[in-house]
Amino acid sequence: MLSKETFEIEDTYFAPFFVKQKISIEKGDGVYVWDEEGRRYLDFTAGWGVTCIGHANPVITDALVDQGRKIIQNPNSGLTYSPARARLLSLLAGILPLHLTRVFFTNSGAETNDAAIKLARKVTGRPEIVSTYQSFHGRTISTASATGQAKNRDRYRPLMPNYRFVPYNDLDALESSLDESVAAVILEPIQGEGGIRIPSDDYLKGVSELCKKNGSLLIMDEIQTGFFRTGPAFITGSCGVNADFLTMAKGIAGGFPFGAFAMSEEVAEKLEIGDHGGTYCGNPLGCAVSYAVIKYLIDNNISKKVEEMGRLALNRMQQWESAYGDAVAEVRGKGLLIMIEFQNEEIATKIKDECLARGLLVTQTQGIGIRIFPALNIKKGELEEGLHIIEDAIGSVVNRSS
């Protein structure tokens, strides 16, 4: 099947939720993918942040095959024990913040956040959830209602009630919003889809303290930042934040649909049999893949590698602010989660298209930016290749407009 036929079939039968790039990807290897005609592209999107150890990594395919030959789904699902699940729980216990001792597995980030919100209300007996403007927490009706972006929320009215919003990185605004009706605050330690918004050094700990003072729970959404994306396993564990829930997905299984939330023993003690569940809830196949991916990340010291590659990228990219000031407004990020904000959306779109024409896949974010989040095991030469393409694309757009 050639790309043209693939385009025709998908355009005819696939749900119309995306404006697609005219590119049909057939296979991948590491940070590279190939279309049906055999053209190679460098992938700086990691499948929206999930292929954290690259495409077609043998670590994942071996885990799929080995576990698939044993059992994929337990009889009675979560009502029976699973050695694959037990191995994953044990591994996670070594990288999660110490006080987050209980874990439940899900199928996606949105489902994970939805569960944490539901359980926070149950535990506290309170109805209100506080979120932040520009946040993104998922596409279920509950998590869309918790998302602080009108474009991702208002088209679905009537929304779920009992959500309120405050500016990100503003402790005074949060404190003013907290009262005895607030069950929880849901917060990304770095806003991802909202434009890689990095808070001040005291913000996250300040949020934690305000929640504790008000008797509200804190849900830390690390779906995009978790599993070494910014360097540490989780930002929550590296900055002294006392979260009650930590939600995870994306990098947890390297591209296999999987998610999880961790909670404190104090929260778990207030939950009862039947408060939550799910058909898959840590099926052996997903657990085996997740275990293999996380063990690879730990064994290969990906935390250190991400910090090194992140510094290399940011040092080079931040020079573009002065070299191409008519196009580049700001470069910001942490580890391998980076945003190039341009002067306007037209420039960002042109540069994204130029990157694709040069064989680089990037993600346009919030209209005016390009988000860079490649596989965490990317090699220095591969990273430099992609940065060179982006800089060439920026230069080309700037030269044409001058």
Sequence-separated (6 or more) residues with CB below 8 Å from residue 383: 309, 312, 313, 374
Domain at 3-57+301-401: CATH code: 3.90.1150.10
Where does 30-127 show beta strands of DSSP type E? 32-35, 40-43, 100-106
- Nearest Cα residue to 387 out of 147, 152, 137, 42: 42
Asked if pLDDT for residue 155 goes beyond 80, the answer is yes
Q: What is the pLDDT of residue 400?
A: 84
Domain 59-299 has CATH 2.40.30.10: no
Query: Which is catalytic among the residues 43, 105, 165, 221?
Result: 221
For residue 21, the model assigns a pLDDT of 84
Residue 202 has pLDDT above 70, yes or no: yes
pLDDT of residue 319: 96
Sequence ranges of the domains in the chain: 3-57+301-401, 59-299
Predicted confidence (pLDDT) per residue in 78-93, tens digit: 899 999 999 999 999 9
| Chain centroid offset of residue 40 CA | 25
Catalytic: which of 104, 227, 250, 256?
A: 250
Does position 153 have pLDDT exceeding 80, yes or no?
A: yes
- Taking a C-beta distance cutoff of 8 angstroms, is the pair 178, 138 a contact? no
Angstrom distances, CA of residue 301 to CA of 51, 307, 321: 17, 10, 31
**What mean pLDDT comes out for the span 377-387?**
98
| pLDDT of the residue at 198 | 97
| pLDDT one-digit tens code per residue, 9-34 | 999 999 988 877 889 999 999 999 99
Q: Say which of 136, 165, 258, 261 is annotated catalytic.
A: 136
Annotation says 17 is catalytic:
no
- The answer on pLDDT for 383 being more than 80 is yes
pLDDT in tens, 306-339: 999 999 999 999 999 999 999 999 999 999 999 9
Per-residue model confidence (pLDDT) at position 402: 66
Cα gap 227→222, rounded to integer Å = 9
Active site residue 380: no
Q: Dig out the tokens for 171 from the structure.
A: 């402790």
Residue 230 is encoded by which pair of tokens?
């910014």
Identify the pLDDT of residue 238.
84
Active site residue 170: no
State percent of the chain over pLDDT 70: 100
- Burial of 4-31, coded b for 16+ CB within 10 Å and e otherwise, reads eebeeeeeeeeeeeeeeeebbbeebebb
Q: What pLDDT, in 10s, does the model give residues 269-295?
A: 999 999 999 999 899 999 999 999 999
